[in-house]
Amino acid sequence: MRAIYSQTLYWIAVTFVLFPILVLLGIYMRTVQAGGLAGLDAWFYPMMTLHGVGMVGVWYVASMACAANVLAKYVAPSPAIGRLALVGTVIGVVLLLVCVFLGRFAAGWYFLYPLPFKGEWPAWAAVVFLLSLTVLGATWLVWSLDLLRAIASKYSLSQALGWHYLSGSGELALPPAVLIITVSLIASVAALVAGVVVLVLFYFELLIGAPSDALLMKNLIFFFGHTLVNLAMYLGVALAYEVLPQYAGRPWKTNKIVVISWNTVLLIVLVAYFHHLYMDFVQPGVLQYIGQIASYASAIPAAVVTIFGALLLVYRAKMRWNLASILFYLGLVGWAIGGVGAVIDSTISANVRLHNTLWVPAHFHTYMVAGLVFLVVAYFYHACQEASAAPESTGYHKLLAALLVIGAYGFFLMFYLSGAYSVPRRFALYPAELGHGAVYSGIAAAFAAVFLLGFVLYLVETGRRWLKAVQAA
């Protein structure tokens, strides 16, 4: 039995409590769009806000917790800062629940300016929402800085980014997970600082009535939100680099190609968000082209190198397939499939037709759920299994994975079909002309229920190991 970093156990518990609730909110929304739950449709937009912010936040901190657990093998993150991040996240979640359930705040997870100040909700609800983001953003920023401090205590910046591999120097072996986490944390700090700037501008308007430039606010919000979501995905990929070799019985080492690819990501990921602003015609045209080029380019270094690396790692290896290794592999597949959908949407000629359709939630649900979620829950199971050394049933694990895959991809397919047939996003109820959207929504809700069943069975399987890990901690 191997002890697990104790704070990771708390993060696992928080994730296991919040994620099923947020899935139920997703099923609720698709059921309302299908024409069901009459009388409850007034809650659609508040629940959309809670679902969006909640999902992004839960899986960002879950990936950060896993990254901190990986780093603890190589460096020494501060336990006090880790506890601060946990407490701050819980406080932020409570504030979010207050503004949604008591204030019916419904501006969406993207809270585009000036919408928080223009809705039918009371002014205090918008203030509490901004306070929630302030607490979350501040604690996550401090957490990111501390993890970077821990890395810097052992590696110089050039070493942590693997630049010594480019000169052919073997002076220091750098685990690929540390390289990817370093890249992700540097970009994460930039994104969180942008979030701080946005919140300061919101507070200025609240306190002194000084209006902000809407285009500037939109750029900052998407620089913050889009970048953070991408970085959560990259942290999940770092887990695969760290753990999958243990099941393949082969090393996955850092080399020049890996270093070049992930350093390139650091440059590209910060400007890829421009593809969210194609509809903003006052945005300088050169930025729109940068957005398309960066969106295409981001798929090459990280995804292609990682996916081919994973295929080579697994090919003809004496793999030990269990729930962790299956979900790690499926998580990389989901990342690739969702990435293809994202690249299609980031193409300007396609985006003008797909931008305000359900194609957009189709691609980000794919790489978030079948990508990031699979990778993180794979790590959760792996860590708890190592700590508990409980007996495993490969057949049962395959059944769990099958339920998760069938439920997830059936759910995604309804989004993709809806987007292809021009069903708009953000509609609570569809008019008669969009009756096919209601049909797709009902089918999606059924597939989401299958996924939830698979996840509940996963909770039982992993929860038993989590309890043993808590006792051993």
> Tokens at residue 416, please?
């993709």
Residues 6+ apart with CB under 8 A from 458: 323, 377, 381, 400, 404
CB-based burial label for 120 (10 Å; 0-12, 13-18, 19+): exposed
Q: Give the distance from CA 321 to its chain's centroid.
A: 25
Q: From CA 384, how far away is CA 300, in angstroms rounded?
A: 33
User: How many other CB atoms are there within 10 angstroms of residue 209's CB atom?
Assistant: 7
Block mean pLDDT (10 aa), the chain, length 473: 68 94 95 89 93 94 95 92 94 96 91 90 95 95 96 94 83 90 95 94 90 93 91 94 94 90 87 86 89 82 80 90 94 90 86 89 92 96 89 90 97 95 91 92 97 96 91 77
pLDDT of residue 24: 96
pLDDT of residue 170: 62
Q: From CA 330, how far away is CA 378, in angstroms rounded?
A: 10
pLDDT of residue 34: 93
> Tokens at residue 44, please?
């659609």
User: How many other CB atoms are there within 10 angstroms of residue 204's CB atom?
Assistant: 13
Q: From CA 238, how far away is CA 378, in angstroms rounded?
A: 12
H-type alpha helices, 269-393: 285-298, 305-314, 323-345, 348-354, 359-365, 374-388
Indicate if the alpha-carbon torsion angle 233, 237, 242, 244 is positive or negative: positive
Q: From CA 415, how far away is CA 425, in angstroms rounded?
A: 10
Q: From CA 82, how far away is CA 410, in angstroms rounded?
A: 37
Q: From CA 458, how far away is CA 411, in angstroms rounded?
A: 19
SS3 state at 424: strand
pLDDT of residue 302: 67
pTM of the model: 0.94
pLDDT of residue 103: 95
> Tokens at residue 157, please?
């910046």
pLDDT of residue 1: 42
Q: From CA 109, how far away is CA 124, in angstroms rounded?
A: 17
Question: Domain range for residue 397?
Answer: 2-472
> Tokens at residue 72, please?
């603890």
pLDDT tens digits, residue range 193-235? 999 999 999 999 988 888 899 999 999 999 998 889 989 999 9
Find the angle CA(116)-CA(119)-CA(120) to the nearest 5 degrees.
140
Our count of domains for the chain comes to 1
25: domain CATH number is 1.20.210.10
